[in-house]
Amino acid sequence: MKYYIDFITKHATDKLTTFEKIKMIIRLVRQNRVLIIENGLTPVEEAELIKQTMMIIDFDNFIGVEFFNWQRDYNQSKRLFSRKQSSYGNRNHNHYTVVAPTEAIKIIEESADLLSIGLAKSTS
């Protein structure tokens, strides 16, 4: 299986409703895309992503999504990493949410200034 990485800007998601954003995320993840979303997801959007994903799980073709947040706090010079948690709203952070097919990614390294993600090996 081949996976692709898409970077989605804040500008692209700001004009979407929560429903439209979640629909877009699920559609892209089902196409084997790993999404890096600038400005991340709100807690409400995260909850809706989980809810919508659970409604369409198909164990033969689509087993779900994995998502996590990564942010850099420039005022405190430290990185804040939270898996499936969000501290949305503080604009002194660069905040990103990564969303991917469950089997596609693995955290390789996390440090103050680096998040390294491994992708599953391609079989095609």
1-49 confidence digits (pLDDT tens):
788 999 999 999 999 999 999 999 999 999 999 999 998 899 999 999 9
pTM of model > 0.85? no
In the chain, what are the domains?
Answer: 4-119 (3.30.950)
Closest CA to 86 of 30, 37, 27: 37
Beta strands in the chain (DSSP E): 4-8, 33-38, 65-73, 78-82, 93-101, 105-110, 115-119
- Helices 18-29 and 43-56: crossing angle, nearest 10°? 50
Closest CA to 37 of 112, 46, 53, 56: 46
